[in-house]
Structures are given as structure tokens and as C-alpha cells.
Structure 1
Amino acid sequence: MSASQVILLASLGLAPAASPAREGGEIRLLVRADDLGVAQAVNEASIRCCTEGIARSVEVIVPGPWFLDAVRLLQEHPGIDVGVHLTLTSEWERVKWRPMTHAPSLVDADGYFHPTTAQRPGFPPGTGFLEAGPDPAEVERELRAQIEAARRHLGDRVTHLSAHMGTAVAAPELRAVVDRLADEYGLPIAFPGLRDAGSFGPVEATAEQRERRLVELIEGLGPGSWLLIEHPALDTPEMRRFGHVGYENVAEHRAAVTAAFTSPEVLRAVERAGVRLISYAELVGGD
């Protein structure tokens, strides 16, 4: 059973079922760890969430400054499923990354990706990707380069695509580019039947609160296939430099995610509820 499923039930105001596994049908949960490649603390935590916790798939930001470290860790753990987290934004104020290709319509005055998909209230003017008028041809070259680099380093470990902050699919012309690349490389980005389970607590929740909420969510899941997405990290000096307007406690929040994903109590809840943890690789393979 999935932590994300339980969140969906809560958001609908439904009481969790006492014994979901007995209602008939398998409960499958895909727990995904996003943003490998942006920091050592993210890389280490995400691998730990897969080897010691409930995560089964990771998403790699190829232009991230710690991408090659992520590659090294993934090579040491060949059983972890990998997706290319197609990236066109760089959201943090003091930690940035750039395109892999020459793409003037995709960057700000300093040559970095824009921080947000669309202009947000409270952010400096000119920080929205869509408002900057991205050239779809440049988008395609950049996303192709990211996919090619991931395949070059990780081979058929790469099973799917996803969109960092949703930016790569945020407009019809961008979605058309991504769909074309997904078909060309045989890396799906859409998985019909996989339901979004939401989140398991606000960013200000403590590790203990997140663990408790995740257990509650898992114990309330019903049959079906569910997706739970989060961003594990460790609370290190490096991660404490991450942040932007309205989200300053990044290290504390993401360390709480790691603690919840690797919690023995959460693992016991998964077992009690009869949840099968799955990866994208199984969905692609038709299992």
C-alpha cells in the first residue's frame, strides 16, 4: 500500500479502509525519489531510500552539478530503476544549473535555466520560463541531449521520462516535443492507470509527523496502482544553502522525507497492509 494513496483518500474526505488488502485486488505503490544530480545530499539520501526504504524509482536531473556522482552511485546499485527528469528550470536562488546545449531562449542573463515554469508572485520579474518565449527547437535539442547523456552513462537502466516541475509539458507545443522524444526513445512519460496519491504532510512537518502521516496513509490505501513522489535529501551544510522565496527550510524538510521513507515503522506498515512496492520498470515491462 502506498503512502500516496492514503493522501488521496484524505483529500477526498474518505475514511481509510481498515483492511484494504481484504477488499480484493492488489495494492501496488510506486514510490519515486526525485532530483538526483543536484546535490550530494540528494544523491546519498535517494539511494538510501531505495536500498533501506520504500522508494523503487529515482529521477535524474542530467544537467545537475552532481549528475556524475549520481551515475556512480547508481552503478553501485544496479537494481534501482531510473528515469530522466527532463529539466528546463533551475529553481534555487544560490544553486544553479545550465543547459547542456546552446539554447539562448531557455536561459536567463547569466546563462542559467529560469527558476520557475511561469512567473510567480513574489519572484523577481523575468524569472518565468514560459514568459521568456522558449524556442521548441531548442527545447527539443536540449531534452534530447539530456536523454542521450543518461542513456550513455546508464544504458537500459533508464526506463521512462518525467518532467522536472512539470515544465517540459507545461504548454501544448512543449508536450508535443516530449511525446515525440518519448516515442523515439521508447521511454514513456504517461502511465494510464497509475493514480497520483498526493503528499504526506506540509513542508514544515517534522520527521516524526511525516512518519506518522505516511503510516496512516499506507494503512488506508485500497486496491490499485498508486504513485507517491517526493524529494529525499540529508540535512547537510550544502543542502542548507538550497531555498527560494516561500521555501527556505529545504534541508530540514527533505531530511524529514528521507527519515519517513526509511522508517522501520513505515516498512512495517507496508507489510501489514499487503502493499507491493513497484517501479516504473515493472509498468514498462507490463507486470
Structure 2
Amino acid sequence: MGACSLWISRDAYDSAAAIELLADPDRLFSLRGAEIVKDQRKIKVARISGGVAGNAANVYLKRYNAFSWRYRFFSLLGPSAARRAWRGASILIENGFRTGRPVAAVECRSWGMLTKSFYVSREIPSAKTLDACWVEELSRDRGVEGRRRRSELLQALAVLFRRLHQARIYHNDLKDANILVRPADHYTVESFFLLDLEGIRRVSRLSLRRRIKNVVQLNRTLGRLVSRADKWRWVRVYLGSEFQDRDARRRWLARIVQATARADAHSMRKRNRDLTK
């Protein structure tokens, strides 16, 4: 037998019409204002302009597909990706970090196994992914003001990573495309919004391995666009007082370089395997 469970932000979507519509989010894909942003085997994403059921705010809808029998079987053991995203948003908001305002999460199961799940969140107006902001807004200005803005953004980003890790919050895919930023004359931690929330969790102790992994994820994405000197300054701000310890600083830099090289090599092997299939 099949059934769906719904978690909803009742403060903004408390009408019967909104609850009925959000209880079956597949219908949102066919709304007049729906624009399909991504449609893949594992996920489908749409931007819905004009709002939902009388609420004028634009939203994003993400559907997680039960793409294999293996996935469905192991879904018996834990919550859906949509439910994890809902929890991830709560973790961020409760600890003072920003993300798109959660609207609803839905998970549908048959005989306890997931068939599909959905996460709906408010659009973040005027925001761009971090890589797009860097390329389109910052890298083109080669003057003094451009250098100041780039330096300020990187410093704020380093503080964001440091505060996340101090709060023992781990995001398993903290690459530049999963960080939104509002282009501005001045950047602070409040300029950033995190995406892909299903991989977020708060742990009792955040290991060094996980901290390194997050830094490497950023280094392998935005790091391709910034100078070596900028990377050095970023690490200095991120480490804070740790940076003053020469041995600790060297260990950190060595681990970042080594972990980045391993990740690059793994990615290359995977691409080569895919090409030979």
C-alpha cells in the first residue's frame, strides 16, 4: 500500500488549497509558471514563478526519484532526501545560517519503500551561484575596487566555512555551485545561502577529515578561478588562530594539496571509465 507524508511551513502556506496542492507536488510541474531547470535520472528541478496557491513568492521544486531497486530497498532504513533537506534547512536556520526558506517536504512510500520525494523552497531573489558571481560580477573589474570586492567576498566565505565548522555543521557537497551569493558592494557571511541541503547534518564532533573535504570541494571548484595568493589568504582567515602555528599551517596546506590531487585523480578515472562504456 502507498501513502505520502507532508511537512509544510504552515505560517505561509496554511490554506486548504495550498496544503492540497503541496501534498501532490507532481502537479506543480504542470503549472503555467513552471520552468524545468534540470531533469535527470535521479532528480528533477523546476522554478515556479507566480507562486503557489495564492502565495506570490516564486519557489523551487526538487523531486528525488527512486531510481533503482537498490535505492528503494535501502530507503527502508532511513528518511528520504526531501526529509533530510527539510532537516538540513532547520539546522542552518536554527544556527544562524541562510538558505532558501523551506516551504514543504513530501515523501511517498509503498510498503515502506520510497517511490519519490519532493522538497519545495522559496526562491532567493537576485542571487547567483558563487562561481557565476565570481565570473560575471567580480573577475571583470581589474581595478582597485574590483580587487577589494573579490578580497572581501573571499574573506566572508572563509568566515562562513569557519563558523559552519565551529558549529559542527557538515555539508557533504560544499562546492561553489551549492553556494548562492547576492552580488553587492560589500560582502558578509549574510551574503551567502546554502543549497543541496539533504547532505547537511550536525555532528557531536566534526572531524579534521570532513573539514578538509569541505575545503577541498571549494578548492576544486571556485579554486580554479582564484589566484594562489587569494587561496593563501582564504586559508589564513579560515584557520584563524590555527594559522599562527607554523607546523599546523603547513600540515593543513599539505593535506589540502594532497586531498585535491586525490580527488582530481579519482574524477579523471571515473571520466575515463564512463568514456569506455
Tell me the TM-score range normalised by the shorter chain: under 0.3
Q: Which has the higher contact order (CA 8 A, sep 6+)?
A: 1
Higher normalized helix content (fraction of residues): 2
Q: Tell me the TM-score normalized by structure 1.
A: 0.23
Higher normalized strand content (fraction of residues): 2
Give the greater-gyration-radius structure (CA). Answer: 2
